[in-house]
Amino acid sequence: VPEPDLSPTRADPRYGYFGPRGTFSEMALALVPGVDTAAATAVSTVDSALALVRSADLDAVMVPIENSVEGGVTATLDALATGRALVIVREALVPITFVLAARPGVTLDAVRRIGTHPHAWAQCRGWAARAVPEAVYVPALSTASASAALAPGSGADPPYDAALCAPIAAEINGLTVLAHDVGDNPSAVTRFVLVARPGAVPEPTGSDKTTLVAYQTDDHPGGLVEMLEQFAVRGVNLSRLESRPTGDALGQYCFSMDCDGHIAEARVAEALMGLHRSCARVTFLGSYPRAVAPGRVNGSTSPSRRSGTSEADFTAARAWIDKLRAGGS
Amino acid sequence: VPEPDLSPTRADPRYGYFGPRGTFSEMALALVPGVDTAAATAVSTVDSALALVRSADLDAVMVPIENSVEGGVTATLDALATGRALVIVREALVPITFVLAARPGVTLDAVRRIGTHPHAWAQCRGWAARAVPEAVYVPALSTASASAALAPGSGADPPYDAALCAPIAAEINGLTVLAHDVGDNPSAVTRFVLVARPGAVPEPTGSDKTTLVAYQTDDHPGGLVEMLEQFAVRGVNLSRLESRPTGDALGQYCFSMDCDGHIAEARVAEALMGLHRSCARVTFLGSYPRAVAPGRVNGSTSPSRRSGTSEADFTAARAWIDKLRAGGS
Amino acid sequence: VPEPDLSPTRADPRYGYFGPRGTFSEMALALVPGVDTAAATAVSTVDSALALVRSADLDAVMVPIENSVEGGVTATLDALATGRALVIVREALVPITFVLAARPGVTLDAVRRIGTHPHAWAQCRGWAARAVPEAVYVPALSTASASAALAPGSGADPPYDAALCAPIAAEINGLTVLAHDVGDNPSAVTRFVLVARPGAVPEPTGSDKTTLVAYQTDDHPGGLVEMLEQFAVRGVNLSRLESRPTGDALGQYCFSMDCDGHIAEARVAEALMGLHRSCARVTFLGSYPRAVAPGRVNGSTSPSRRSGTSEADFTAARAWIDKLRAGGS
Amino acid sequence: VPEPDLSPTRADPRYGYFGPRGTFSEMALALVPGVDTAAATAVSTVDSALALVRSADLDAVMVPIENSVEGGVTATLDALATGRALVIVREALVPITFVLAARPGVTLDAVRRIGTHPHAWAQCRGWAARAVPEAVYVPALSTASASAALAPGSGADPPYDAALCAPIAAEINGLTVLAHDVGDNPSAVTRFVLVARPGAVPEPTGSDKTTLVAYQTDDHPGGLVEMLEQFAVRGVNLSRLESRPTGDALGQYCFSMDCDGHIAEARVAEALMGLHRSCARVTFLGSYPRAVAPGRVNGSTSPSRRSGTSEADFTAARAWIDKLRAGGS
């Protein structure tokens, strides 16, 4: 798998991530070959991180886009869909492991208030109900910021006694781990994307994904079916589909989607052209190499293709039409 | 509407029609500008007519393909679908009017046996049951041959007393017309096609049709739906669909179809390429100007198009993809 | 497989077939247990045969409906679709074998004109082109009538020297067989149906077919797809689909179809109700046991079913809805 | 519109809402005729509110389910989909108006930290970026709890200076309103649902909605299209569709949906039965009267129906099938 060509080409691209230090986003960025996360910029919200790329203060930022337990990260989906164009140039999958961490000296039975990000709470609340049934939840901006506020010497006085966070965040902030692996779903994984300004599209690798947002022309019954048929008729599989409100009124949606394949492939290009013709608007958010889920063999994640939809099939069909148009048979 | 360019280009193309003289096919050929049917060759079967084009003994022949009462002309459909490639370069619609004709001196109440082509009988049997209930039907190779055998001086002794045929055939053969307009359906029309060897495809006129035959890869449930979706997703309307047995076994069909549009148009080309990719085999049988039904204004026969399927829509979508592939947004 | 209950129930139902004696229709009728074809009535046209059932002069007639080489028998399809309601109560598959037969003393090299039914000619013309290239084709009402007219002592003087017909017809009529097995396709088979007045529907056997004709409400693009989806969404496979003109104008069709399953089954009933709601008109032409193709094991002809479409699935779904409607969960 | 019959029937049902006092949920509950919100129980999380209904400590609770700006309320969607069955018995639409409120004496230019619920922040951040660009966001459990913590005499010391909340929450808590109507989208509306234990389904009113969650059997391409066709083929419109992860792995989704119509109607019942047959699991979450959006005339929100899908069409189709099954025609 060749490395994606981050754009604009710089000898020394400036990276950022949804932070502070110790978030899962930093772990995802660390998976990119050649990136030193210590030199990268931690940005406290997804919105701000993307804004820094739009303004060219950063060249690429790693942000969460989808969680196997909580679903789409709506802040990311919405920030990508609006504003100056950005594209995804890489994805990363990070297994999610939570610890309950507190200042040294605090014991588990003394924990009455737990601070963390809402998505993290959602993934640990089963454990919390059993292990610390008296504790209440206090929302925080991120799992890392929840633990950072507890760091001895931080000067903060957060309204909670313990934080649910990544193991690395507990370590960075000098906290005591009261309980390991407290996530309710041991196979939880979060998908992150590296977002850059449009430039050269990463080369196709044979196992790629394409992300886009499509807006229907109106809310007629069957409109979504027609949209999905643009993919089905070319044998392009959708691996993610989420409706997002357009903000205009209840019941008015756009659809954020990942499909298998690369815009350089005929089957994907034709499906996208079909959407472009039939939708009010289509926003292309990048073609990039598919990440392999941790612990999986590469081949097992490749979906089966409908017969007649390979690149060779498209090439042969085009040659046939060209011959017919020239008067052949 | 420009004239189709018959191929191969000859100063003096040799025409034929399904005949003898006096058939509706001759009337259809007479509708082609510049053609003198007196100089054209009448051929007694559709099979033979097409064979003479394949062997280059003729350059183009007019044969019936579809009747508004009897349906597809299976001899034509099957002969076009098999053997060396032929293409349709023009279509013609002829209103069908039948007369009952006999040798001079024969009266209506003396008619006991009526000779005609099976399709013609099917279109007049209601009238016959009322007007000559005693008469039985005797099949003939064509309506014109049925009347020709009755011609005084023909030397034939046909096993019937009167023929159902076109008015012109009665006139040519010197017969007396016993009854006019005996067809059960006064709006009956037959569609004829002018068939030639492959060559330059007639120029698109903006109101064209394309004919093809598609063979499915296997008999899986939903296979026909998938085939039809190749058209629907590009907004291409089907104006004729007929299943024909492949001859291998009961339940194994190919599909003979006419769709609106010309192979030079992106929407038609893309639909045909979709079939080419997903079907076992596709036979292209020509793109040619749509004929206007007699008595109709041209515009009224143009079907409405689904939004987003004009040539401009396809061109814009292609430009968008090209820009994205180059790294734009 | 229980025997269909022919209706109206009579101690001694009167049978007919498309004849004269010696047609393949008689052979098909002979396959019905307990029927003595010698006592059955031969009727010279399909139209007349069905009319005799409608008028209650006969109780059931065997007529051809589909041929593996020539396709649908349009006379049968159209006669079933119009007029007083009739239903199919049984089907039969007959392998088609042709002989070339002539009066005693005629030799193969003396044959100049061959009489037969157009469908039979279509199935033997390849052989004829090789074996008797000089011979021309003369159409007849049926293969059996073509051979009967040659019978010594018939008093007829048919305009041909030999007939293409079933072996039994040559035998019945005292003709000499000049060539055996002259059909171009050795696996050719014709499907016949036994047609009766509506009455008790034959009991479901677990391997049944249902025949119907559906008329669309208008000629809108995608209308056929919607019709087919009524079947697909309930997992009902179509084994035959033919468009037939309604006779009103070119491009106006109804669809004659066979689907797997019995009207007593929920999946078929629901699909038919869906058609009834969405079509201009639906004509039910019977549910009856599926015939096993000669030489095939029964199981091999049963199509695979889409999961979730068994009778048990429908029953469970109904029970679930009834519980929910009553306030359960 | 008859009132929904809350179940179990009690002379004095106990109501709750997602609170504390002053949330939009309380405003939604106040729209239910005969309900005194002062006597209702405010519950601090959606999870807990639903748990109190499951345990029969409350009889019905009002919780948010969808916001025209932020999309589905995932906590509600997920809590409804899992655990003991609950059903929606009513919906309410509440226009969303935000104020920025602070303790008396605080002025707008002194605001450095703003506390509110993440969804509220998302709906006001445009205004905040312009009006108080220096202020940072501090997440809170609800808009009402953010304002309650600022209430003089509450004894709390929240980590922010001002709260984004409903006007009523500012009033209840004795706060000063620093800015009115600070939402970025003036037509923002949130949809709330009243959730109860299963019991008698509210009577159909002719303008109803049905909510459900469907789990596909596997992740095959086209699976969602098949699911949507269960609705389309019966003319049932979907007004909301959201994918939610099942929690098992990335790319494994269930679909939360609202459709038009009532389970007592044949078209809805048949679509649900179709899903029940073809899906791994379907959870019914209630049929209830459609709420009219504030400021809209009732009729304008009724979607057009596909022809052939009225209750009368279903009844007629059922009568037709019953007659055919009995041997009629």
Segment A28-74, tens digit of pLDDT: 999 999 899 999 999 988 888 999 999 999 999 999 998 876 677 88
Does residue C320 carry a pLDDT above 70? yes
C43 by Cβ neighbours in 10 Å (0-12 / 13-18 / 19+) ranks as buried
Nearest-CA distance A287 → chain B (Å): 10
Confidence bin at C302 (pLDDT 50/70/90): very low
- DSSP strand pairing (D208-215 vs D99-102): unpaired
Closest C-alpha among A155, A184, A180, A185 to residue A165: A180
CA-to-CA dists, residue A247 to A135, B217, D123, D305, angstroms: 36, 46, 10, 26
Note the pLDDT of residue C300.
Answer: 38
Nearest-CA distance C316 → chain D (Å): 8
Closest C-alpha among D176, D172, D160 to residue D106: D176
pTM for this entry:
0.84
Q: In chain C, positions 4-43, which contact chain B (CB-CB < 8 Å)?
A: none
Q: Which residue has the higher pLDDT, C242 or D69?
A: C242
Q: What confidence tens digit (pLDDT) does each residue in A287-320 have?
A: 999 997 665 444 334 445 677 888 888 998 999 9
Nearest-CA distance A37 → chain B (Å): 27
Q: Over chain A, what is the mean pLDDT?
A: 87
D146 chain-A contacts, CB cut-off 8 A: none
Nearest-CA distance C272 → chain D (Å): 8
Note the pLDDT of residue C299.
Answer: 38
Rounded to 10 degrees, the C-alpha dihedral B97/B102/B108/B114 comes to -70
Closest by Cβ to B232, choosing from C222, C232, C239 = C222
State the chains in contact with C (3 or more Cβ–Cβ pairs under 8 Å). Answer: B, D
| Interface contact D80, partner C, CB < 8 A | no
B243 chain-C contacts, CB cut-off 8 A: 71, 240-243
Q: In chain B, positions 142-171, which contact chain C (CB-CB < 8 Å)?
A: 158-159
Distance of CA B244 to the CA centre of its chain: 15
Q: Over chain B, what is the mean pLDDT?
A: 87
Closest by Cβ to C243, choosing from B222, B225, B241 = B241
State the chains in contact with B (3 or more Cβ–Cβ pairs under 8 Å). Answer: A, C
Closest C-alpha among C150, C141, C59, C33 to residue C100: C150
B226 chain-A contacts, CB cut-off 8 A: 233
Q: What confidence tens digit (pLDDT) does each residue in B189-229 have?
A: 899 999 999 998 999 999 999 999 999 876 565 678 888 88
Confidence bin at B251 (pLDDT 50/70/90): confident
Does residue D1 carry a pLDDT above 60? no
Contact D265, A90 (CB under 8 A): no
| Interface contact D68, partner A, CB < 8 A | yes
Nearest-CA distance D239 → chain A (Å): 6
Confidence bin at C297 (pLDDT 50/70/90): very low
pLDDT above 90 as % of chain B: 53
In the B/C pair of chains, how many CB contacts fall below 8 A? 121
Q: What residues pair up with C93 in beta bridges, in sequence order?
A: C191
Note the pLDDT of residue A8.
Answer: 46
Note the pLDDT of residue B297.
Answer: 43
CA-to-CA dists, residue A150 to A57, A114, A162, B310, D118, angstroms: 30, 11, 8, 62, 22
Nearest-CA distance A178 → chain B (Å): 49
Which of A154, A250, A267, A268 to mutate to test binding with chain D, by most D CBs within 10 Å of its CB? Answer: A250
Q: Which region among A14-23, B82-91, B259-268, B300-309 has the lowest average model confidence (pLDDT)?
A: B300-309
Verify whether the Cβ–Cβ distance C317 to D230 is below 8 Å: no
Q: In chain C, positions 268-327, which contact chain B (CB-CB < 8 Å)?
A: 293, 303, 306
Q: Which chain C residue is nearest to residue D199, measuring alpha carbons?
A: C327
Confidence bin at C173 (pLDDT 50/70/90): very high
Q: What confidence tens digit (pLDDT) does each residue in B127-153 have?
A: 999 999 989 888 887 888 899 999 998
Question: Rounded to 5, what percent of chain D is helix, strand, coil?
Answer: 30, 25, 45
Note the pLDDT of residue D297.
Answer: 44
Does residue B44 carry a pLDDT above 80? yes
A87 phi and psi angles, rounded to 5 deg: -135, 155
Does residue A2 carry a pLDDT above 90? no
Q: What confidence tens digit (pLDDT) does each residue in A216-275 have?
A: 876 565 678 888 889 988 989 888 888 888 877 777 788 999 999 999 999 999 999 999
Note the pLDDT of residue A141.
Answer: 77
D288 chain-C contacts, CB cut-off 8 A: none
- The long-range contacts involving C322-325, CB below 8 angstroms and separated by at least 24 positions, are C324/D201, C324/D263, C324/D272, C324/D284, C325/D201, C325/D263, C325/D264, C325/D269
Closest by Cβ to B277, choosing from A229, A269, A317 = A317
**Cα distance from N-terminal residue to C-terminal residue, chain D:** 41
| Interface contact C226, partner B, CB < 8 A | no
Residues 6 or more apart in contact with residue B91 via CB below 8 angstroms: B65, B191, B192, B193, B194, B209, B288, B289, B290, B291
Does residue C2 carry a pLDDT above 70? no
Report the alpha-carbon angle D119-D124-D126, nearest 5: 130
Q: Which region among A62-71, B95-104, C75-84, D290-299 has the lowest average model confidence (pLDDT)?
A: D290-299
pLDDT above 70 as % of chain A: 90
pLDDT above 70 as % of chain B: 91
Which of A216, A225, A302, A304 to mutate to test binding with chain D, by most D CBs within 10 Å of its CB? Answer: A225
| Interface contact D74, partner A, CB < 8 A | yes
D269 chain-C contacts, CB cut-off 8 A: 321, 325
Nearest-CA distance C70 → chain B (Å): 7
Q: Which two tokens stand for residue C23?
A: 């047609």
Note the pLDDT of residue A297.
Answer: 43
| Interface contact D182, partner A, CB < 8 A | no
Q: How far apart are CA B69 and CA B119, in angstroms?
A: 9
